[in-house]
Every structure is written in structure tokens, then in C-alpha cells.
Amino acid sequence: MTPRPGLDLDTILQATTKMADTQGLDEVTLASLAKKVNIRPPSLYNHIDGLPALRKKLAVYGYEQLHKVLIRATVGRSKDNAQFVH
């Protein structure tokens, strides 16, 4: 089975992040995520290998997002000028 056009891992991770932020990570299930991205739960397996794999990818995604923010806040600055700017 091929992945749905327009739906990719990044879109899934963004939706998962929003769900975890608003409802808590424990409330994120494959069924609730599938509903959020408007697909059937088995279709998620075209993108991820289950809930444990989704949580690992979500952790990596979070670190990547943090890294991007930290780079923007510090590149070209030094000492006290390298402050967090969101």
C-alpha cells in the first residue's frame, strides 16, 4: 500500500506534536492520530511502525525543532548577546 498523497512523516509529526501539547502524550494513540489527520489507523503504518516508533520519531523531531530554535537564537552572537529569542 502506498502513502496517501499530501501526507508525509513531517505532517504526522506536526499533528502528533499538537495533540501531545494540548492533550498530553499519553492521550496520543494511533486511532486518535489517524482521526486527526483524517485517515484510517492502518494507513499510519505506511509512515510509521507503530506507537513506540512514533514516540521515538516524535522525540527526535522535538530535538530537531529545539536545535533549529537554538541555532536561530545564537548564530552570529556571542556572550550576553546570544540570548533566547522566540
Please give the Cα distance from 9 to 15 (Å, whole number).
10
pTM of the predicted structure, to 2 decimals: 0.77
pLDDT tens over the chain, length 86 residues: 455 567 999 999 999 999 999 999 999 999 999 999 999 999 999 999 999 999 999 999 999 999 999 888 888 877 776 665 55
Contact between 21 and 69 under an 8 Å Cβ cutoff? The reply is: no
| 3-state DSSP percent of the chain in helix, strand and coil, to 5 | 65, 0, 35
Residue 78 in 3-state DSSP? Answer: coil
